[in-house]
Amino acid sequence: MATRIERVLGRQVYDSRGRPTIEAEVSLDGGAVGRAIAPAGASRGTAEAVDRRDGGSAFGGYGVSRASAGLRERIAPRLRGMDASDQAALDAALIALDGTPNRAALGANAMIAVSMAASHAVAAARGLPLWRHLLGELGGAVALPLPEIQIFGGGAHAAGRIDIQDFMVVCPGAASVAEALAWTAEIYRAAGALMAETGRLAGVADEGGWWPAFDSNEDALEALLRAIERAGRRPGDEVLISLDVAASEFGRAGRYRLRADKAELDTEGLFERLAGWLERYPIGSIEDPFGEDDPAGFLRFTRAFGQQVQVVGDDFLVTDADRVRAAGQSGTANAVLLKPNQRGTLTETLEAWQAARAFGMGGIISARSGETEDTTICDLAVGWQVPQLKVGSFSRSERMAKWNALLRIEEALGDRARFVGRRPYESLPPAPASTSMSA
Q: How far apart are CA 163 and CA 166, in angstroms?
A: 9
**Buried-exposed string 159-168: b where 16+ CB fall within 10 A, e elsewhere:** eebbbbbbbb
User: 117 Cβ partners below 8 Å, 6+ apart?
Assistant: 8, 24, 25, 26, 34, 35, 36
Phi-psi region for residue 129, left (φ > 0), alpha (ψ -120 to 50) or beta? beta
How many whole angstroms separate alpha carbon 202 and alpha carbon 200? 6
Helix (H) or strand (E) holding 261: none
Please answer whether residues 309 and 283 qualify as being in contact, where contact means their C-beta atoms are separated by less than 8 angstroms: yes
Give the contacts of 355 (CB within 8 A, at least 6 positions apart). Answer: 321, 322, 324, 325, 328
Give the separation between CA 160 and CA 151, rounded to whole angstroms.
16
Q: Which residues, listed in sequence order, are joined to residue 335 by a DSSP beta bridge?
A: 312, 362
Q: CA-to-CA distance for 427 and 356, rounded, in angstroms?
A: 13
Instruction: Give the DSSP letter of residue 73.
Output: I
Q: ∠ CA(164), CA(367), CA(127), 5° rounding? A: 165
Cβ burial 124-133 (10 Å sphere, 16+ → b, else e): bbeeebbbbb
Residues recorded for the chain:
439
Q: Which residues contact 249 (CB under 8 A, 6 or more apart)?
A: 43, 155, 156, 163, 165
Active site residues: 207, 339
Rounded to whole angstroms, the Cα distance separating 134 from 87 reads 11
CA distance linking residue 362 with residue 364, whole number of Å: 7
Q: How many beta carbons lie within 10 A of that of residue 233, not counting itself? A: 20
Phi and psi at 354, nearest 5°, equal -65, -35
